[in-house]
A and B are shown apart, each in its own frame.
Chain A
Amino acid sequence: MSGISSSEQGQSQTAEPIIDVDNVQFTYSYENLDASPYGPEENAAAQPQSRQSDADAGTVPALQDVSFSVPRGSLTVLCGGSGSGKSTALRLLNGLIPQFHSGEMYGDVTVCGLGIPTLDLARSGGVSATVFQNPRSQFFTTDVRSELAFRNENHGIDPAEIVRRSSLAARQVGIQSLLNRSLTELSGGELQNVACAQAIAQGTEVLLFDEPTSNLDTAAIARFGELLSRLKSMGRTIVVAEHRLYFLRDLADQVIHLDNGRIAHRWTDEQFAALSAEAIRGLGLRTITPPKSLPLMQRIVEGNSSEVADGSADTATAASASHETSATENADDYIAASSSANASDEHLAAPSAEPSNTASAASTAATSGDSTVTPATPAASEQSGLRLEDIRVHYGRRLVLDIPSLDVHAGEVTMLVGPNGAGKSTLASVICGLLAPDKGGRILLGGKAMNERARLAASAMVMQDVERQLFSATVRTEVSLGTSVADPMPLLERFDLLDFADRHPLSLSGGQKQRLMIAAAVARDAAVYLFDEPTSGVDRRHLDAIGQQLRELASAGHVVLVITHDPELVDACADTIIALHPLATTDANTNKAKRSAPQDRHNRVESITLG
């Protein structure tokens, strides 16, 4: 236990680097299939051929000539494309390399004065705490309180002290209200907070984060940024491996750009902030300035209109957002009525030329009725689109979804946005026919009412975990599985998968798997395409590619509905945003509690057409 140094003790030591990575080269001893579940991993995404042959030879180092040091109390960002070695570099710091992921390693890694490569994993865990990417697979216990205590219990720390640390960490992260909850009932954002809290409760000086925001909505990302800044001010040393960079721009003291396992660039905070958008794009990195649709997304997930209307109404989208917001801000009955009206026959046209004096203008407009609502939908697209009427879903006796009316138009990319736990996935399950709504609800496609079986046949869904959706022995048969496609080759060519036609789907990289799933979805020739978080944890290149594919599907006249938290994807290809608000119009953190009470309220649903 001598290795544990709590942050209080750490303060008194000298200012020499707390983490020192010295000239490390590392080669995985196996093909790194488990690299990261969401990240389309490995160079294969970029250069399939070379990767494949190199991997066969087993000679591609995942890291080469990597040296860096992290000063005490600073925040270091590791960035780079998928397969660039970010996660691998992070694993050097917590000892998972080479203790857990075996391979050939040269060089040395020191954290808090301990030589990590030769240290027992539990001891490495004594000096650093890690937050992993996937909340589903990093929790060992089943409820929040036990999870916060788990590490300290294993280290044999006095229970009174464990409770003190746990409650302190819970307070710092703001999850006291979750302490008695079961982990299975928490949303992705809440789980990520729990993961952060358990890391903080460990009391280690160094905190490591592996793509912590890939499952977070925009509001949760903003809160996560605040948490990082608080931790920094408390003297913790932080290393973050991330694709999303905009929220880290003002926090990072050092940014290390990895490319193909080598350090391509090192930037100080000023140098990083000064990089131009073109330079960032050229390096294949995600944007470092807040995405254009961020204020709108944030406004939607927070469900709190008045805060957003002032600061962010400087773009066309934000202007339309504040209009819409004010219009739905009144009494519940009115909200239901107005939103269903908006959603059903009318689209909000974004007042793109309008100046941004919106806060007051919008509220007067709202009180005067629907003067901000302009009917702009041609009847044709209405006909071929998807229409939901009186959709209610109960889990047990709890009402989880209640949508009086909603239209999703064909030929457009429609993004379904809402806070974690608002019912987005439930809505998607209803639309694709996996879930039957309560009696009385109707779903029409192209004017025809569809039952569950018909919807299952007419829709294709690409889930977040593509691995669960791949069933065949080869890529070739995977595409035609369950369809009448005789020759899958043209489709494989279109999705750049021709070279892999005879490989097993599960042997592909993450990005290739996702392309394969989209190809298989296209092969179904469905009328409705649903995507669940297609860009969580993917790099810039891949995000652009997915955006392109969504566009193509939409322009072929399909209904394309995408559940997303990612403002960069919205920037890339959204035509319409459907904002789904939780049932009770309260703060997202407390919506579960409120929702358990039976109440006759509707989900607020807004359709926002982007200019």
Chain B
Amino acid sequence: MTAADTSASRVSPTLPALGKVGETPSMAAPAANAASVSPASCRHQICDPRTTLLTLIVINVLAFGSVPPEIVALSATLAAVLLATQTLGKSFWIFLAVAFGCIALYVGLPLLVGGWFAAIIVTIAYWTSRLAITFGLFGFLFLSTRVGALIAALSALRLPRALIVPLAVMLRFIPTAMDELKAIMNAMRLRGVVSGPTDMLVHPVRMAEYTVLPLLASVTRIADELSASALLRGLGLPNRPTSIVRLRVRWTDVVILAAVAAIVALHVIGWTVLG
């Protein structure tokens, strides 16, 4: 466990063999099985985290710039395809409806009606469509990327630890905070403070008042315990970490990056459909 350890060898080939070295074959068998079929709920890492991050940055810069609706639609399509590899549940359909609904709205509405009210709607839709793309891509990041893979990828990019650790913590922590929020909402319904999701729209101030403190209290506590556990386990060590995650460029990375490049290229050459 000295300097020699830092050589990042490719370890994945040894994984399937693990099942065979157990003392009792019967106990080892399930492990071998589990290794061959990945359970549905496990994260589907379809590409290198670096590809995900690059896509996230480029598409966001593009979408929040002044780009024609075609490019926004293409970006939304890419985000939708990526998201679809992770989930086809409610959140996917919400994303699809909001992103393309808003694009259709801000392109189509000015053709039909005019006036200040339509202008407000168009402006809102214009920005919502872009925000939806950001949310979609972040959703993809959270759903597809394991913390370990992210740390490995960022370390491979030789980014400083001061940047990697906060990113890793964020990736780990946001889903936890969402869970806490859900639990607190449930608790409010139980206490009769609110009766349902509609109350959030009717009494936003009261909702915020009742949500923020418990959320902060529990999130702070979790953050504290989490950092104690992580620090004890060497998250702050200055050396470059090794990783059991095998990072390699796959055909999916090539496809995704090609799609990103194509969108950028289309924007650069000024491609439009609507004229």
Contact = CB atoms under 8 A, between A and B. Distances in A.
Contacts of A456: 189-190, 192, 195
Interface stretch (B51-59, B91-99, B128-136, B227-235): B227-235
Interface stretch (B38-46, B70-78, B101-109): B38-46
Given A34-B224, A180-B42, A146 B148 contact: yes
Contacts of A202: 233
Among A37, A140, A182, residue most surrounded by chain B Cβ atoms (within 10 Å): A140
Interface class of chain B by DSSP:
helix
A265 interface: no
A141 interface: yes
A282 interface: no
B190 A161 contact: no
Interface footprint category on B? 35 or more
A453 B10 CA distance: 56
A460 B148 contact: no
B43 A506 contact: no
A449 interface: no
Interface string A57-97: 00000000000000000000000000000000000001110
Interface stretch (A148-156, A342-350, A577-585): A148-156
A594 interface: no
B30 A143 contact: no
A503 to B, nearest CB: 14
Contacts of B213: 471, 506
Contacts of A185: 41
A161 B8 CA distance: 11
A1 B234 CA distance: 11
B172 A465 contact: no
B147 A161 contact: no
Given A142-B43, A483-B192, A122 B236 contact: yes
Most B CB contacts (10 A, CB to CB) among A120, A153, A162, A465 go to: A153
B22 interface: yes
Q: By CB atoms of chain B within 10 A, which of A142, A145, A177 has the most?
A: A142
Nearest to B233: A151
Interface in B1-57: 1-2, 4-11, 14-15, 18-19, 21-23, 27-28, 30-31, 34-35, 38-43
A471 B236 contact: no
Contact of A159 (B30, B210, B237, B242): B242
A163 B244 contact: yes
Contacts of B264: none
A356 to B, nearest CB: 34
A181 B226 contact: no
B244 to A, nearest CB: 5
B243 A159 contact: yes
Contact of B230 (A1, A140, A157, A429): A140
Among A121, A124, A182, max chain B CB count under 10 A is at: A121
Interface in B76-129: 89
A150 B229 CA distance: 11
B22 A468 contact: no
B221 interface: yes
A310 B6 CA distance: 55
A432 B180 contact: no
A342 to B, nearest CB: 30
Given A141-B147, A141-B172, A156 B241 contact: yes
Contacts of B234: 122, 125-126, 151, 154-155
A184 B146 CA distance: 12
A176 B30 contact: yes
Nearest to B216: A506
Given A143-B43, A176-B27, A161 B233 contact: no
Interface of B: 1-2, 4-11, 14-15, 18-19, 21-23, 27-28, 30-31, 34-35, 38-43, 89, 146-148, 151, 168, 172, 175-176, 180, 183-184, 186-193, 195, 209-210, 213-214, 217-218, 220-222, 224-237, 239-245
26 contacts: A96-B228, A121-B236, A122-B235, A122-B237, A132-B228, A134-B225, A137-B225, A138-B229, A141-B148, A146-B244, A154-B233, A155-B1, A155-B234, A156-B239, A159-B9, A163-B14, A171-B28, A176-B19, A180-B39, A182-B39, A182-B43, A185-B41, A456-B189, A463-B187, A465-B218, A481-B193
Given A130-B232, A141-B148, A167-B21, 11 more contacts: A100-B231, A140-B229, A155-B241, A162-B242, A176-B22, A180-B35, A180-B39, A468-B214, A469-B214, A471-B191, A506-B213
Interface of A: 1, 4, 34, 37, 94-96, 100, 120-122, 124-126, 130, 132, 134, 136-143, 145-146, 149-163, 166-167, 170-171, 174, 176-182, 184-185, 202, 396, 429, 432, 434, 453, 456-457, 459-461, 463, 465, 467-471, 481-483, 506, 520, 524, 590, 596
